[in-house]
Amino acid sequence: MGDFDFQVIINSLPFLWQGLQLSLWLTFLAIIGGLAFGTLLALARLSGIRTLAFVAAGYVNLIRSIPLILVIFWFYFLVPLALGRPVGGFQSALIAFVMFEAAYYSEIMRAGIQSVRKGQVHAGQASGLGYWQIQRYIVLPQAFRNMIPILVTQGIILFQDTSLVFVVSLRDFMTASSIVARTEGRLVEMYLFAALVYFVICFAGSMLVRYLKGRMAT
Amino acid sequence: MIEIKNISKWYGAFQVLDNCSSSVSKGEVVVVCGPSGSGKSTLIKCVNGLEPVNQGNITVDGQEVTAKNTNLTKLRSRIGMVFQHFELYPHMSVLENLCLAQEKVLKRSREEAVSRAEALIERVGLSEHIGKFPSQLSGGQQQRVAIARSLAMDPIAMLFDEPTSALDPEMINEVLDVMVELAKEGMTMMVVTHEMGFAKKVADRVVFMDEGRIVEDRPTDDFFGNPESERARDFLSKILNH
Interface predicted TM-score (ipTM) of this complex, two decimals: 0.92
Higher pLDDT, A8 or A177: A177
The residue among A205, A94, A98 whose CA lies nearest residue A148 is A205
State whether B87 and A137 contact (CB < 8 Å).
Answer: no
Give the N- to C-terminal CA distance of chain B in Å, as an integer. 36
Is a pLDDT exceeding 60 seen at residue B242? Answer: no
Residues of chain B in contact with residue A124, where contact means CB-CB under 8 angstroms, are: 101
Contact status of B90 with chain A (Cβ, < 8 Å): yes
C-alpha atoms less than 13 angstroms from C-alpha of A184 in its C-beta half-sphere: 21
Region A188-214 average pLDDT = 91
Helix B110-123 / helix B94-104 crossing angle, nearest 10 deg: 130
Q: Helix (H, G, I), strand (E, B), or coil: what is residue A152?
A: helix
Q: Dump strand ranges (E) for B143-229.
A: 157-161, 189-192, 205-210, 213-219
Beta bridge partners of B80: B158
Could you state, in order of their start, the residue ranges of all structural domains in chain A?
21-170
Average pLDDT, chain B: 92
* Residue A94 CA: distances (Å) to CA of A23, A97, A153, B112, B207: 11, 5, 19, 45, 62
Res B3 pLDDT > 90: yes
- The mean per-residue pLDDT over the stretch A146-161 comes to 92
Is the pLDDT confidence value at B64 over 70?
Answer: yes
Could you read off the pLDDT of B148-186 as tens digits, one per residue?
999 999 999 999 999 999 999 899 999 999 999 999 999
Confidence check: pLDDT of A218 > 60: no
Is the CB of B11 inside 8 Å of chain A's CB atoms?
Answer: no
For residue A38, count other CB atoms closer than 10 A to its CB: 26
For residues B26 and B72, what is the distance between their CA atoms, to the nearest angstrom? 20
| CA nearest to A30, candidates A143, A170, A197 | A170
Averaged pLDDT, B82-96: 95
Mean predicted confidence (pLDDT) in A189-195: 91
DSSP H stretches of helix in chain A: 6-45, 50-64, 68-83, 89-114, 118-126, 131-134, 140-161, 173-184, 187-217
Burial B186-216 (b: 16+ CB within 10 A, else e): ebbbbbbbbbbebbeebbbbbbbbbebbbbb
Percent of chain B with pLDDT over 70: 99
- Inter-residue contact B61 to B68 (CB < 8 Å): no
Q: Which H or E element spans position B82?
A: strand B79-82
Q: Does A136 touch chain B (CB under 8 A)?
A: no
- Residue B41's pLDDT is 93
* Bridge partners (DSSP) listed for residue B33: B208
Q: Whole-angstrom Cα distance, residue B163 to residue B82?
A: 6
Confidence of residue A189 (pLDDT cuts 50, 70, 90): confident
- pLDDT tens readout for residues A28-47: 999 999 999 999 999 999 99
Segment B34-54, tens digit of pLDDT: 988 899 999 999 999 999 999
pLDDT band at A217 (very low <50, low <70, confident <90, very high): low
Taking a C-beta distance cutoff of 8 angstroms, is the pair A176, A184 a contact?
no
Q: What is the pLDDT of residues B16-37, one digit of tens each?
A: 999 999 999 999 999 999 988 8
Model pLDDT, residue A2: 57
- CA dist B198 and B221 (Å) reads 13
Angle at B39 between CA B76 and CA A124, to 5 degrees: 25
Average pLDDT over residues A99-107: 95
pLDDT band at B204 (very low <50, low <70, confident <90, very high): very high
The model carries a pTM of 0.86
Which residues of chain A have a CB within 8 Å of the CB of B85?
117, 119
* Rounded distance between C-alpha atoms, residue B125 and residue B110, angstroms: 22
A217 interfacial to chain B (CB closer than 8 Å): no
Gap from A137 CA to chain B (nearest CA, Å) = 8
Phi/psi region, residue A185 (left: phi>0; alpha: psi -120 to 50; beta: rest), is left
Give the end-to-end CA distance of chain A in Å, rounded to a whole number. 48
Question: Which helix (H) or strand (E) segment is B240 a member of?
Answer: helix B230-240
How many Å apart are CA A113 and CA A88, to the nearest integer?
36
Name which of A32-36, A121-125, B63-67, B110-114 the model is least confident about.
B63-67
**Each residue of B39-64: b (16+ CB within 10 Å) or e?**
bbbbbbbbbbbbbebeebebbbeeee
Chain A residues with beta carbon closer than 8 angstroms to that of B101: 124, 127-129
Tell me how far apart the alpha carbons of residues B235 and B164 are, in angstroms, rounded to a whole number.
19
A21-170 belongs to CATH 1.10.3720.10: yes
Specify the pLDDT at position A83.
Answer: 81
Residue from the list A130, A137, A141 with its beta carbon closest to the beta carbon of B73: A130
pLDDT at A12 over 80: yes
Q: Let me know if A216 is exposed, middle or buried by CB neighbors in 10 A (0-12, 13-18, 19+).
A: exposed
Q: In what order do the strands lie in the sheet with B55-60?
A: B14-24, B2-11, B55-60, B63-64
Specify the pLDDT at position A185.
87
pLDDT at position B241 over 80: no
Work out whether the CA dihedral A167, A169, A173, A178 comes out positive or negative.
Answer: positive
Q: Indicate the average pLDDT of chain A.
A: 91
